Chain A
Amino acid sequence: MTRNTIGEHLLQNGVSRRAFLKYCTAMASLMALPPTMGRAMAETLRAARRPSVIYHSFQECTGCLESFTRSFSPSVESLMFNVISLDYQDTLMAAAGHRAEEARAQAMKDNDGEYLLIIDGSIPTGDGGVYGAAGGQSYVNMLKEAGKGAAAVICVGTCSSFGGIPMAHPNPTGARPVSEIISGKPIVNISGCPPVPEVITGTLFQYVSMGKLPELDTLGRPKVFFGNSIHDRCYRRPFYDAGKFAKTFDDEGARNGWCLYELGCKGPTTYNACATVKWNGATSFPIESGHGCIGCSEPNFWDKGSFYAPLSSAAFGASGNVSPREAAKLVGAAAVVGGAIGLGAAAISRKRQETLAGAAPDKKGG
């Protein structure tokens, strides 16, 4: 199947050069690329063909898709109609049941080795994968089959990227991230619970406009969006540096917009674009609304202790963060053990002292 280039497609739809330049400038800004890149992207994109995209949802809550559809720039419509060809997404597509499955099979056949596979949700592998199935096929098998002919796999959300909430302790369904099931294919992780909408569409846009996958960090995430920690780009950073911290969610410091580190903000250990791209059409991001970052774009964020305990505090105990009571118990018990060993050691030493001094046993200890 041959498709128009995006340039031809846009020209047919009466998209002017200025409109295209504006669009690409906005994209470059979104992706924190050098702003002059907008023009270079415009040229590559004009010559590119719209890739076929197959979007599978597995063990997930549809929050990622909800986020995806709320992308402002590029909007999901403009992306779907202009830049990609979304051939399968069971929630968005009009077809259902066997018709939908046929469309998927057809798209996979027509674009073998070239389609982009988007996965949202983790994959339950426990008990032969029975915890997730559609159309009589387990998710794990669907993923393996769809993965074979894909040019690349894009994991949308923390679940498909790192396992997410389904994989949280005790992981009853044996949930696994895509990277543990698919091998030999480039995998891009767009983590977040959910990911920032523009980060999802931006990564797809970049793939098409640059003709290659973006540069990835050690966790397989695009560096343009995940290169900086929330803390590094946080507008409240000057207060951290000045040692000005909110102590509760309603004190003077909280009202004055001081740093939320002491209230458990995970900004320093979380890599995402929230602080720059922001949410809801660049309205704000959680810290701007007065709540600390919960670190949702990092692996195992659900199992890393309380969202409200500061990063520098100890991370053991029943709640995941030690309480004074638990600490006292631990230190007390260890002190009893230490004291007992000390008693034994002293008894042995005294005996030796006595032998060395040749002294008679002295009950008072001298």
Chain B
Amino acid sequence: MDLLSFARGPGLYFALVVFTVGVTWRIVGIALLRSGKLLSEPRTSLGRALFGGFATMGSRSWPHPEFVGRTGAGEALGYSYHIGMFIVILAFAPHIQAWGAFLGFTWPALPSSVITIISVLTFTLLLAVLFRRLTHRVLRLLSNFDDYFSWFITALVIVTGLLATAHVGGPYETLLGLHILAFDVLLVWFPCGKLMHAFYIMPSRAINGYLLARKGAPS
């Protein structure tokens, strides 16, 4: 069995199983944890508190005016490469085909040249993010293996994808095989590290916002 057949076949199958088991495990495991009792009297109605939860999902997704000078650059970088990644994942014709096999329907693609430009930009932004992590003293002290490996595997998927479409560095089937294999590894790693933020980030903001609003400090 060649690399591409393995990556698309048993490799992807295994990765999908690990991904799904891991993600549901973690979500169910956290959702059912005991949460702290609200010891004070509720300051707002349940309805307002729930609205506060929703509002926080939005407000926390935007730089706080007071800190924008310090956090703005980081947030702009983060947003940009996330948007770039989503465009590439959802609007590149071969990716849409991969989705189509699972979902049973497809949608129009962007021209491959546009996707190539966005991928290069996204990768450049990823490099900038890594540079910031390495040069920012506090951030560097806070970083662990999870941060670097999650960055590495994401970057590897983008780079191998770019090489495969550009036919640079080896035959297409090998590069495509490496690209899909890197994606398989990313899927396996997904529930193990910070990539889980894709599932956690919005619920945790909402719960925080709800609790704060309930305590009379809506954000």
Contact = CB atoms under 8 A, between A and B. Distances in A.
Interface string A301-341: 00011000111111110000111100100110011011101
B40 interface: no
Contacts of B109: 243, 245
A338 B28 contact: yes
B124 interface: no
A366 B9 contact: no
A342 B28 CA distance: 5
B93 A245 contact: yes
Interface residues of B, number: 53
Interface stretch (A14-22, A127-135, A140-148, A343-351): A343-351
B10 A316 contact: yes
Contact of B176 (A269, A271, A349): A269
A91 interface: no
Nearest to A332: B20
B25 A342 contact: yes
Contact of A324 (B19, B34, B103, B171): B103
B122 to A, nearest CB: 17
Interface in B156-193: 167, 171-173, 176, 180
Nearest to B167: A232
Contact of A322 (B4, B26, B101): B101
Interface string A72-109: 00000000000000000000000000000000000000
Contact of B21 (A241, A242, A338, A349): A338
A269 B4 CA distance: 10
A354 B34 CA distance: 9
Nearest to A330: B16
B202 interface: no
A232 B167 CA distance: 9
Nearest to A271: B171
Contact of A241 (B9, B94, B103, B113): B113
A365 B100 CA distance: 41
B120 to A, nearest CB: 15
Contacts of B176: 268-269, 311-312
B65 interface: no
Given A312-B95, A327-B102, A334-B16, A346 B28 contact: yes
Given A304-B5, A354-B34, A269 B172 contact: yes
B137 interface: no
Interface string B67-103: 0000000000000000000000000011101101111
B101 A341 contact: no
A247 B22 CA distance: 35
Interface string B102-118: 11101001111111000
Given A315-B9, A322-B102, A365-B35, A242 B24 contact: no
A343 B111 CA distance: 45
Given A312-B98, A342-B25, A353 B34 contact: yes
A338 B5 contact: no
B17 interface: yes
Interface of B: 2, 4-5, 8-10, 12-13, 16-17, 19-37, 93-95, 97-98, 100-104, 106, 109-115, 167, 171-173, 176, 180
5 contacts: A242-B113, A243-B93, A312-B95, A338-B28, A346-B31
> Which 8 A-B pairs give the minimum distances between C-beta atoms?
A342-B28, A338-B24, A334-B20, A346-B32, A312-B94, A324-B104, A315-B8, A243-B111
